[in-house]
């Protein structure tokens, strides 16, 4: 794998992710078995680097998996074979401030990644069904389908240390 700068890799990965919108998100259970599901993350640049938000419901399976292992992977595949992978540390964002930040990120982003979360969570960001996963990537990989077909390697960035769950 070719190690490129963080900014180039992050920009390309986010471009693919926000065009594809829906990611296969994989967690690991207590005995190391992977479990995939399709979710809708959004990626936001902050002063601390890239962070992701997933608005979701706090299901028993997600709670158990993340309690046993806070790492998850988000993978995207576009119809033209552009790909992006975000390996992350995930944590439930329980503060009202964090829940509102995630809500606002989706509500203010342009479609297709942006949408009105009230269509899914009518009780708002403080409603009982609304849960938020906060993602901190420690590894990013992105590749354009045309370049990959020519044998070029995808862009890759990896943090020197895996971040600690928030």
Q: What is the pLDDT of residues 9-49, one digit of tens each?
A: 999 999 999 999 999 999 999 999 999 999 999 999 998 89
Domain that holds residue 33: 2-158
CB of 158 closer than 8 Å to CB of 138: yes
165 occurs within a structural domain:
no
Residue 83 lies in a domain: yes
In a domain, 164, yes or no: no
* CATH at residue 85: 2.30.110.10
- Is 150 within the bounds of a domain? yes
The one-character DSSP state at 151 is T
**Strand-pair partners of 3:** 156
Rg (C-alpha) for the chain, rounded Å, is 16
Query: How many domains, the chain?
Result: 1
pTM of the model: 0.93
Q: Tens digit of pLDDT for each residue in 53-77? A: 999 999 999 999 999 999 999 999 9
Extract the tokens encoding 78: 């576009």
Per the domain annotation, does 163 fall within a domain? no
How much is the mean pLDDT over the chain? 94
């Amino acid at each position: 794998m070719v190690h490129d700068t963080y900014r180039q890799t992050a920009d390309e990965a986010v471009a693919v992710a926000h065009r594809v919108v829906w990611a296969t998100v994989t967690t690991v259970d207590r005995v190391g078995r992977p479990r995939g599901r399709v979710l809708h993350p959004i990626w936001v640049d902050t002063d601390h680097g890239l962070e992701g938000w997933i608005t979701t419901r706090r299901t028993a399976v997600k709670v158990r998996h993340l309690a046993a292992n806070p790492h998850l992977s988000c993978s995207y595949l576009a119809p033209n074979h552009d790909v992006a992978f975000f390996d992350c540390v995930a944590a439930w964002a329980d503060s009202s401030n964090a829940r509102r930040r995630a809500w606002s990120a989706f509500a203010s982003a342009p479609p297709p990644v942006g949408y009105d979360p009230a269509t899914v969570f009518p009780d708002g960001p403080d409603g009982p069904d609304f849960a938020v996963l906060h993602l901190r990537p420690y590894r990013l990989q992105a590749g354009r389908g045309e370049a990959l077909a020519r044998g070029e390697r995808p862009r890759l960035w990896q943090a020197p240390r895996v971040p600690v769950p928030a």
